[in-house]
């Protein structure tokens, strides 16, 4: 902690400044004078006023990420699934609703689904062995120049390893059992746009390679350092550029530094009574700049839109200079939208430093809900109808039977006999009275947001449609648990890894008429590939429809298997994932809906956007970054 404080001091800032700033924002809103807000909007950002008096706001994630985040797994150090002394599954920590709860049926589910056994455990290395880490090779002249800028940096092994990876299975596996061949040589922490400009200039001067790092939640191998990169690799960590620069209440926009992470952005906006409503599943850790760079999508996009709908203005630093628009307007016709070169550029063109994003007043009322359908087909038909009538709630998701059972297995111990009696009654009603087959039925979870009255009206409309497709309302609680699980589910992989179970999720978007075929075929392909590759136990292969659009849906797959008896599980896993992706493409699905391409899915880019399309992107890259300073080798 001392070290962090020192570093923070080194960069010439401090929490006092940020606290003062936040206070100012809040008080500004308290005054509620539009005039004041207008002034706020016009006031220049402190960092620009040189002198280094301003520093980053205190975010939820410290500069030394390893202090609260796992170095070899997902999320917070204090939050994880464990098996307690009684052999029951439990989720630790107090951060999530599930924290501290015992999950009585989960162990049995794992054993049944994966053929895994608690007796067969793998052990990860307890901590990072600094001696394994490739040395930091940085030329002294650059260091001198860097020091002159007063930008904070580190050549510490832990810092560098932490920024050498995202959260793909193979990356986590390497952390547990091996070491990356190539990692960044140095980590730098700019605190504002100007710092980034300076770093990019230095990189051009010394011919270095920059890899921007936001929240580190990439699942496309986008953060992996190209092994053959001979130049010094600079990891540009944007996490200290995390201030809200201004809020414009008249136009409902906010200008935010790109390093801010989702939870901080929402927390801080909510202090002023606003939100962006952009909630990707990774929002606890992922950053605004990362969302822009991957074309992210949020759970509640039905109300708030995806990142491309939210962004009003982007400022990006490239080796050619700064790219931005001259105004902040809702739409303009000035040739192809340059934002679309930036969104999804995955760090190959430059660093996004500031983003003006739409904001909305915080919703008055939120309500969860859930619907049980007799089978997946009916569920999809219902979602399609909801999309057709354009009455989708903030979020509507449909999980298949396997995932429904999985969710069921994560049910905490019931508190009272009464609840357990009610659960039993519910189950009886659905399976016996209504005749739903518990091995076939599936569940949709819903989230409504807005005015209380409108929400209730909206709710009724959606439930009416669901009834037409044989759906039965299944309670708020199930819905809420479903959404909570999306945050917790990422922690499960670490537990699985301890017991020879590896898994991953991947996603796609697909036209409505192909949703069912795609889901069925991809799951079947996974099962078939596992068999062929010698996987000893049938895999867990499941999907859910997570987003609805006018013309199609986003489908998310979870896939995991027990790898005991396989000598090279990661290779096998990758082959199967590749086959699954090929199946998706053959079924008319896209290469990615929101995860991006990175290096993991590069091989299909040509097929996806045609030769000419790829050439268009290449020529942009060649113009913007002729010396390949941003050399993470993503996308192209």
- Residues labelled as active-site residues: 556
For residues 300 and 316, the answer to whether their CB atoms sit within 8 Å is no
Q: Which of 56, 62, 50 is nearest to 21 (CA)?
A: 56
How many of the other CB atoms lie within 10 Å of CB of 97?
Answer: 15
Burial class of residue 16, CB neighbours in 10 A (0-12, 13-18, 19+): exposed
Q: Is 346 annotated as a binding residue?
A: yes
Contact positions toward another protein, by CB under 8 A?
Answer: 115, 439, 513-514, 517-518, 520-521, 524-525, 528, 531-532, 536-538, 585-588, 607
Residue 399 C-beta: closest distance to another protein, Å: 16
CA 164 to chain centre: 17
CA trace torsion 161, 166, 169, 171 (10° rounding): -30
Residue 536 C-beta: closest distance to another protein, Å: 6
Q: Is 55 annotated as a binding residue?
A: no
Whole-number Å distance between alpha carbons of 485 and 617 = 38
Whole-number Å distance between alpha carbons of 83 and 334 = 58
Which residue, 439 or 457, has its beta carbon nearer to another protein?
439
Which residue, 99 or 588, has its beta carbon nearer to another protein?
588
Which residue, 7 or 582, has its beta carbon nearer to another protein?
582
Q: Is 217 annotated as a binding residue?
A: yes
In 270-390, DSSP assigns E strands to 274-275, 311-318, 321-323, 351-358, 360-361, 365-373
Burial class of residue 178, CB neighbours in 10 A (0-12, 13-18, 19+): exposed
* Distances 500 to 173, 261, 531, 562, 598 between C-alpha atoms, Å: 11, 32, 17, 6, 27
Whole-number Å distance between alpha carbons of 505 and 283 = 17
Which residue, 4 or 586, has its beta carbon nearer to another protein?
586
Whole-number Å distance between alpha carbons of 275 and 359 = 6
Residue 551 C-beta: closest distance to another protein, Å: 11
For residues 407 and 398, the answer to whether their CB atoms sit within 8 Å is no
* Distances 460 to 384, 392, 456, 473 between C-alpha atoms, Å: 17, 12, 6, 11
Whole-number Å distance between alpha carbons of 444 and 472 = 10
Q: Is 349 annotated as a binding residue?
A: yes
Q: Is 216 annotated as a binding residue?
A: yes
Residue 261 C-beta: closest distance to another protein, Å: 37
Q: What is the DSSP letter of 76?
A: B
Residue 589 C-beta: closest distance to another protein, Å: 9
Which residue, 132 or 532, has its beta carbon nearer to another protein?
532
Residue 607 C-beta: closest distance to another protein, Å: 8
Which residue, 210 or 535, has its beta carbon nearer to another protein?
535
Residue 400 C-beta: closest distance to another protein, Å: 13
Residue 608 C-beta: closest distance to another protein, Å: 10
Which residue, 207 or 439, has its beta carbon nearer to another protein?
439
CA trace torsion 434, 438, 444, 446 (10° rounding): 80
CA 169 to chain centre: 15
Query: First vs last Cα of the chain: how many Å apart?
Result: 40
Q: Which of 177, 397, 432 is nearest to 297 (CA)?
A: 397
Query: CA neighbours within 13 Å on the CB side: how many for 215?
Result: 31
Q: Is 12 annotated as a binding residue?
A: no
Which residue, 45 or 521, has its beta carbon nearer to another protein?
521
Q: Is 318 annotated as a binding residue?
A: no
Instruction: Mark the binding-site residues for substrate, compressed into ranges.
Output: 493
Instruction: Mark the binding-site residues for FAD, compressed into ranges.
Output: 212-218, 294-297, 346-352
Instruction: Mark the binding-site residues, compressed into ranges.
Output: 212-218, 294-297, 346-352, 493
């Amino acid at each position: 902690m001392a070290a962090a404080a020192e570093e923070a001091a080194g960069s010439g800032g401090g929490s006092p400044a940020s606290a003062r700033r936040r206070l100012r924002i809040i008080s500004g809103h308290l005054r509620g004078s539009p005039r004041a807000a207008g002034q706020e909007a016009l006031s220049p950002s402190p960092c620009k006023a040189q002198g280094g008096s301003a520093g980053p706001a205190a975010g939820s994630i410290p500069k030394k990420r390893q202090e609260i985040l796992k170095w070899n797994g997902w999320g917070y150090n204090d939050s994880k699934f464990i098996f307690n002394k009684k052999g029951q599954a439990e989720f630790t920590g107090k951060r999530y609703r599930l924290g501290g709860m015992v999950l009585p049926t989960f162990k049995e589910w794992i054993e049944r689904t994966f053929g895994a056994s608690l007796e067969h455990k793998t052990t990860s290395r307890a901590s990072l062995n600094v001696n394994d880490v490739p040395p930091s090779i940085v030329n002294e002249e650059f260091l001198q120049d860097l020091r002159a800028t007063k930008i904070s940096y580190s050549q510490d092994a832990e810092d560098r390893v932490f920024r050498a990876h995202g959260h793909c299975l193979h990356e986590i596996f390497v952390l547990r059992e091996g070491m990356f061949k190539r990692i960044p040589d140095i980590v730098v922490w700019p605190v504002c746009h100007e710092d980034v400009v300076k770093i990019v200039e230095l990189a051009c001067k010394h011919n270095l390679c920059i890899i921007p790092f936001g929240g580190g939640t990439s699942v496309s191998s986008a953060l992996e350092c190209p092994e053959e990169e001979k130049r010094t690799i600079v990891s540009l960590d944007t996490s200290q550029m995390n201030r809200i620069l201004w809020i414009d209440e008249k136009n409902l926009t906010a200008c935010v530094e790109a390093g801010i992470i989702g939870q901080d952005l929402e927390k801080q906006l909510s202090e002023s009574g606003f939100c962006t409503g952009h909630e990707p599943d990774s929002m606890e850790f992922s950053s605004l700049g990362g969302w822009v760079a991957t074309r992210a999508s949020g759970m509640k996009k039905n109300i708030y839109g995806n990142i491309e709908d939210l962004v009003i203005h982007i400022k990006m630093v490239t080796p050619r200079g700064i790219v931005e628009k001259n105004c902040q307007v809702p739409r303009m016709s000035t040739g192809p939208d340059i934002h679309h070169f930036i969104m999804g550029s995955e760090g190959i063109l430059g660093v996004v430093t500031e983003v003006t994003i739409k904001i909305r007043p915080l919703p008055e009322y939120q309500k969860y809900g859930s619907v049980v359908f007799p089978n997946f087909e009916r569920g999809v038909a219902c979602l399609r109808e909801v999309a057709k009538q354009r009455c989708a709630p903030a979020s509507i998701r449909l999980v298949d039977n396997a995932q429904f059972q999985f969710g069921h297995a994560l049910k905490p111990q019931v508190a009272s006999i009464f609840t357990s009696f009610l659960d039993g009654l519910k189950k009886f009603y659905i399976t016996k009275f209504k005749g739903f087959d518990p091995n076939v039925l599936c569940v949709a979870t819903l989230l409504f947001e807005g005015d209380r009255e409108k929400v209730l009206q909206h709710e009724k409309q959606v439930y009416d449609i669901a009834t037409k497709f044989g759906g039965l309302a299944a309670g708020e609680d199930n819905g809420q648990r479903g959404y909570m699980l999306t945050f917790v589910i990422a922690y499960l992989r670490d537990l699985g890894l301890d017991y020879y179970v590896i898994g991953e999720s991947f996603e796609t978007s697909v036209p409505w008429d192909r949703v069912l075929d795609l889901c069925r075929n991809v799951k079947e392909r996974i099962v078939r590939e596992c068999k062929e590759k010698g996987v000893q136990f049938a895999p867990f292969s499941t999907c859910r429809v997570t987003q609805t659009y006018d013309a199609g849906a986003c489908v998310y797959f979870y896939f995991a298997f027990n790898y005991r008896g396989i000598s090279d599980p990661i290779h096998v896993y990758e082959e199967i994932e590749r086959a699954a992706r090929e199946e998706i493409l053959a079924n008319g699905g896209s290469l990615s809906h929101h995860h991006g391409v990175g290096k993991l899915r590069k091989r299909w880019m040509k097929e996806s956007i045609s030769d000419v399309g790829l050439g268009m992107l290449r020529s942009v890259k060649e113009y913007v970054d002729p010396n390949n300073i941003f050399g993470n080798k993503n996308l192209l």
